[in-house]
Amino acid sequence: MVAIDAVTTTGETAALCHSVGLARATLYRRRRPARSSTPTARAASPRALGPAERQAVLDVLHSERFVDQSPAEVHATLLEEQTYLCSTRTMYRILDAAQEVRERRAQARHPAYAKPELVATAPNQIWSWDITKLKGPIPYLYYSLYVILDLFSRYVVGWMVAAHENARLARRLIDATCAKQGIGPHQLTIHADRGAPMRSHLVAALFADLHVDASHSRPRVSNDNPFSEAQFRTFKYRPDFPDRFGSIEHARHVSHDLFRWYNAAHHHSGLRYLTPADVHYGRAAATLARRHQTRVAAYAAHPERFVQGPPRRERLPTAVWINPPAKSTDQDALATTIVTPDDPPHGGTTGAHVVLEDQSPALVHTVESLP
């Protein structure tokens, strides 16, 4: 550019630009003075109303005669009286500038819902419960499956099959489950979505009596209750889960077998492939130790088959989150805390079972056959 400006003469611009491989449009554009980035004020239209005229229109619209009428009605009335102030659209512009135009119908004002942030470091600290539908023998007939899941161990601590969703049934199930698991005051938080049974006064009153904290998902947010949703998917994708249930008794019988498998035989991928019962009742450390001993013995017999060296001891994470907060120093320290096989097991009685899997048939009948 500098060389071209130094040697250029009239008529030589095209040849010089071609010799250096530069387009003439680029040369002319760069010679043009730079434009100011500050936007220029837009000149007022000669048709615009002056401040006094705009105030006169507002005074007419605010008058007692026209205060409850629309600008179109005011404009038509004034024309019949041989008075013209401005167009109907200009009236709306003046009202909008004065922030006096709004939707006539009252719009719903949704409060800001806080994102639930829950962490469980042991069983019976956080429970998640939900209700799913089971297809009945005919179309449009469904049974309601209530499931209460422990967040830390993924153990189903209580379940029930009923003919419908009902707050009284949910209260009975939660009350019986808390008694079965020996829940003490201020020990437990129960998380759920915002369905009618979950937000009912009966359930809220029960939580107050048991000194249990309640947590709810945000509206229209699908991932605030992921553990219950994942458990339902595992449950319904079992090969022996029928497409339809012949009766409510059939649904209860199938659910009984499936929950027994889920708790005692299903090796959960989020639990280092331990069963929920092992984690819930403190058998995880012993099970991981036995697994490690088996790997060590296999390594001693055939070390060449372990390409990554000696087997490492598996460790169970101690924190399970719903919506973990942004990473901080404290959370990093908590996330790296691990349970070693030598740690004492979590509390819990190995003889306890799912509420509706008690050996007494009377309890099953009493809880599941509520009206």
CATH code at 239? 3.30.420.10
78 shares its domain with 222: no
188 shares its domain with 219: yes
- Rounded to 10°, the helix 88-97/51-62 angle is 90
* Strand (E) or helix (H) holding 276: helix 276-280
What's residue 352's pLDDT? Answer: 34
Domain assignment of residue 5, yes or no:
no
- Residue 64 domain boundaries: 52-97
Domain assignment of residue 79, yes or no:
yes
pLDDT tens string, the chain, 371 residues long: the values are 666 666 655 556 777 787 777 888 887 887 777 776 666 677 878 888 999 999 999 999 999 999 889 999 999 999 999 999 999 999 999 999 999 988 777 777 778 888 999 999 999 999 999 999 999 999 999 999 999 999 999 999 999 999 999 999 999 999 999 999 999 999 999 999 999 999 999 999 999 999 999 999 999 888 898 999 999 999 999 999 999 999 999 999 999 999 999 999 999 999 999 999 999 999 999 999 999 999 999 999 999 999 999 999 999 988 999 999 877 544 444 443 333 333 333 333 333 333 443 333 333 333 443 44
Count structural domains, the chain. Answer: 2
| Closest C-alpha among 237, 185, 238 to residue 213 | 185
CB 276 within 8 A of CB 266: yes
- Rounded to 10°, the helix 167-181/361-368 angle is 150
Q: What single-letter amino acid sits at 129?
A: W
Transcribe 2-30 into DSSP letters: HHHHHH--TT-HHHHHHHHT--HHHHHHH
Give 321's strand partners: 119
Q: Give the Å distances, CA to CA, from 263 to 29, 177, 277, 290.
A: 75, 15, 5, 20
135 shares its domain with 220: yes
What's residue 349's pLDDT? Answer: 35
Domain assignment of residue 201, yes or no:
yes
90 shares its domain with 207: no
Transcribe 223-235 into DSSP letters: TSSHHHHHHHHHH
What's residue 106's pLDDT? Answer: 75
Domain assignment of residue 131, yes or no:
yes
Domain assignment of residue 234, yes or no:
yes
State how far the Cα of 129 lies from the Cα of 319, in Å rounded to an integer: 19
Going 234 to 355 to 148 to 317, the CA torsion angle's sign is negative
213 shares its domain with 361: yes
Spatial neighbors of 313 by CB under 8 A, at least 6 apart, are: 288, 292, 340, 341
Domain assignment of residue 214, yes or no:
yes
143 shares its domain with 222: yes
363 shares its domain with 233: yes
84 shares its domain with 230: no
143 shares its domain with 78: no
Domain assignment of residue 322, yes or no:
no
Domain assignment of residue 227, yes or no:
yes
Tokens of 266: 């299903």
202 shares its domain with 85: no
What's residue 133's pLDDT? Answer: 96
Count the residues in the chain.
Answer: 371
87 shares its domain with 147: no
229 shares its domain with 82: no
Going 342 to 343 to 344 to 348, the CA torsion angle's sign is negative
State how far the Cα of 191 lies from the Cα of 64, in Å rounded to an integer: 55
Question: Residue 355, Cα to own-chain centre: how many angstroms?
Answer: 28
